[in-house]
Amino acid sequence: MSPRLAVSQRFAVSQRFAALVALALVLGCSKPWMEPERAPGRTEVVVVPVPRGPEPPPALGPAEVAALARAARPDVILVEVPPADWDRVRQAIAANTPDPWLAAMPDVRALVEAAAAMGVPVEPVSGWDPEIGRAWRTFVAGTGARDPFVQRAREHRRRRDASEGDDLDWVLGTPRSRVVAWEAEALESAIPDRLGAAAPSRVGSAHVAHIREAMRAHQGQRVFIAIDARYAATVERAAAEPDGRVVSPLAFTDALD
């Protein structure tokens, strides 16, 4: 590679990085409600941005997510499982047997058990489907994850996680959701043609379609959603439309003391 081309590529990466820093500052600009008291007759949504993927902050494991659900006292809990797989996942939970979704998202088992104790229903809302799965496996097997811009965004998130540690204001708060959403946006911006159906924006839209359907069925109730942190900001914006109220999970962290 010629020196001129190398400089040009580094400049392009820097420009993309700067643009997405600006995006991160405006993502999720609305503030969730910070008080635990319910608003009678109002649809309320508690969105828990569950850290998934490599090196998640350890402060928010399955037990903590379930404790937040119990403290929130929702009317329904929505979990990140595709509707097509829900019967199989429920059977695995009942039989205490392994399942790929439970291995990837252990908070699902904890939430189902908490819901049973509270007597509230659990509904699946993941938009993940076989096409997305195939696209993601193809991407992982390729070279896209080694794109310098993608690596830079990922390293930024890792540094922030290391700096903030297990501070719940960070793990559950809007700032981390913005950083994680920015990392996903970096992935899609850097290599848009390599992700296909697994592009974060497409996956987020698929999640939102299921969540909006569930929200229509639970108007005037409190809904608890545990969702991949990459999609939390998107889900919050959708949940607030047209007149829903987003309640921050930070309102219930006394249950984790």
Residue 20 has pLDDT above 60, yes or no: no
Position 29 pLDDT exceeds 60: no
**What distance in Å separates the CA atoms of residue 235 and residue 126, rounded to the nearest whole number?**
11
Bridge partners (DSSP) listed for residue 222: 44
- State yes or no: pLDDT of 31 exceeds 80: no
Mean pLDDT, the chain, rounded, equals 82
Q: What are phi and psi of 242, to 5 degrees?
A: -85, -25
* DSSP per-residue letters across the chain: --HHHHHHHHHHHHHHHHHHHHHHHHTT-SPPB------TT--EEEEEEE--SSS--TTS-HHHHHHHHHHH--SEEEESS-GGGHHHHHHHHHHT---HHHHH-THHHHHHHHHHHHT--EEE-----HHHHHHHHHHHHSSGGG-HHHHHHHHHHHHHHHHHTT-HHHHSSHHHHHHHHHHHHHHHHH-HHHHGGG-HHHHHHHHHHHHHHHHHHTTTSEEEEEEEHHHHHHHHHHHTSSS-EEE-GGGGGGGG-
173 lies in which domain range?
A: 3-256
Does residue 125 register a pLDDT over 60? yes
What is the number of structural domains in the chain? 1
Residue of 124, 151, 148, 127 whose CA lies nearest to 199 = 127
Q: How confident is the model at residue 144 (pLDDT cuts 50, 70, 90)?
A: low
Give the span between the Cα atoms of 220 and 71, in whole angstroms: 19
- Mean pLDDT, residues 39-57: 85
Q: Is the pLDDT of residue 16 over 60?
A: no
CB contact at 8 A, 211 and 123: no
Report which of residues 208 and 33 the model is more confident about: 208
Per-residue model confidence as pLDDT tens digits over 232-248: 888 888 877 767 889 99
Q: How many CA atoms lie within 13 A of 53 on its CB side?
A: 14
- State which of 11-25, 98-112, 177-191, 202-216 shows the largest mean pLDDT: 98-112
Whether the pLDDT of residue 26 is over 60: the answer is: no
Q: Please tell me the predicted confidence (pLDDT) of residue 13.
A: 42
pLDDT band for position 3 (cuts 50, 70, 90):
very low
- pLDDT category at 143 given cuts 50, 70, 90 is low
- Stretch among 30-39, 153-162, 204-213, 217-226 having the lowest mean pLDDT: 30-39
User: What's the pLDDT at 54?
Assistant: 66
Instruction: Name which residue leads in pLDDT, 155 or 119.
Output: 119
Classify the phi-psi angles of 27: left when phi > 0, otherwise alpha if psi is within -120 to 50, otherwise beta: beta
pTM of the model: 0.82
What pLDDT, on the 0 to 100 scale, is given for residue 145?
63
pLDDT digits (tens, 9 = 90+) for 184-234: 887 777 766 778 888 888 888 888 888 888 888 999 999 999 998 888 888
Residue 48: exposure state from Cβ atoms within 10 A (0-12, 13-18, ≥19): buried
Tens of pLDDT, residue by residue over 49-103, are 998 866 778 888 999 999 999 999 999 999 999 999 999 999 999 999 999 999 9
- Segment 102-122 shows an average pLDDT of 95
